[in-house]
A and B are shown apart, each in its own frame.
Chain A
Amino acid sequence: MAKIKYIEHNGKEHEVEVQNGLTVMEGAVQNDIPGIDADCGGSMSCATCHVYVKEDWYNKLPKKEMGEDDMLDQAYEPNSNSRLSCQIMVSDDLDGLSVYMPEKQV
């Protein structure tokens, strides 16, 4: 279980507890948190669950697997702190993680 903070582009914060084994994307969708569309349902095919993760946490997260950066090329305004939230698996180690939403997903 990890407490995760989802911060909308307008600054509105949503802090929820997400079970281990779910993805950060699923944590948002299951809790009706706006700003993460996840059109493809988590198959790394759409880049609509894009989030920014600040350096301190970005470096702690498991590294991106092949294909994630390719998908991120197609996201809205990606930068070097960008991740697809469907590819971040929740574990106890992620307790206290904050993710920032882009202005929009498409």
Chain B
Amino acid sequence: MIKTDVVIVGAGPTGLFCAHQLGIIGLKCEIVDNLDKIGGQCIELYPDKPIYDIPAVPECTGEELANNLLEQIKPFNFNFHLNDRVQELKKENDNWIVKTTNEKEFHAPNVVIAGGVGSFEPRKFPTKSAEKFDGTSVLYSIKDKSIFKDKSVAIFGGGDSALDWAIELSNTSKVSLIHRRDEFRGAPVNVQKIKELSEKKIINLFTKYSIKDVIGNGSLEEVEIKSEDGESKIIKADYVLGFFGLIMQLGPIAEWGLNLDKKTIPVNTENFETNKKGIFAIGDICSYPGKLKLILSGFHEGALAARGCFKYARPNEKYRFEFTTASNTIKDRLGVK
């Protein structure tokens, strides 16, 4: 169990800057994110796309922004808990008990939800029959590639994840690669390699096909694929892998008893607190009259939410506003002279 002042849900730009503001006012926090890297949508959706509306930064990419924010909070040594998702929030006296999928437990008087549009989850097959094999022989990520040795593997998708794995697994497995069109969005070198492997009949390539059904009694045996004009084929498969990118889902946040408006959490604009005491929401996930889904708005929201957290984290102290240019206390916290 970890005791802290604030748990931040989401390591996107808004969550990172809120952490900075908490550090500045002398509070501690722990940051949890479902992705395996820091930066949220900036890093997952558009690492290379230029952003032009960060104040005083004429142009930067999503990746640069995330890296700079990370640099800015370095002095505070906050802990990140990546590849983990906050599952449950429960109130106990003055603390929120925060439990994650990896069974971590935090006790904190404040939780700041900076969850964007929710957590990134792999997009799954639309076929109902795939559900019963989900996690056993229908997979959306690979943890241990040795399970595929000498097996038949049907891989769906046209991006680099699908192509990389098709190439890699073709060394030791019988691979079929299925994609809905005959162009691939993967790197040219991967696409070239796939074509070669297909010509040498090392992998079976099916383009302009998508999944229709997965078939198997107990264990998975076959996968049925269909073309757009309705023609179908059966492929032998011990495993079916789908690589269709990530989607954003609100997930467990919807079950924490917070007021919700569509996929957003209404807050007051004084401190960005939700209808629950000590739970704040900032960034794309919060809503209020006039809300703009801009990174700069998220920064402002994070700064005010941090002050809101102070009240519950230090109930016997009075918050004192200070400038970073003038305050020696802040300079100490930042480790500068």
* Interface of A toward B, CB cutoff 8 Å: 37, 39-41, 43, 45-48, 69-70, 73-74, 76-80, 106
Contacts and interface: CB of A to CB of B under 8 A. Distances in A.
Nearest to B44: A45
Contacts, number: 51
Interface in B113-156: 117, 123, 126
Contact of A45 (B46, B228, B293): B46
22 contacts: A39-B117, A39-B247, A39-B248, A39-B263, A40-B117, A43-B46, A45-B46, A47-B247, A48-B247, A70-B158, A70-B159, A73-B157, A73-B159, A73-B179, A73-B180, A73-B181, A74-B247, A77-B210, A80-B228, A106-B247, A106-B248, A106-B249
Question: Is chain B's interface secondary structure helix, strand, loop, or mixed overall?
Answer: loop
B183 interface: yes
Contact of A74 (B126, B181, B245, B263): B245
B126 A46 contact: no
Interface residues of B, number: 24
Contacts of B157: 73
Contacts of A106: 123, 247-249
Contact of B183 (A43, A69, A74, A77): A69
Nearest to A79: B228
A22 B244 CA distance: 29
Nearest to A78: B180
B185 A45 contact: no
B45 interface: yes
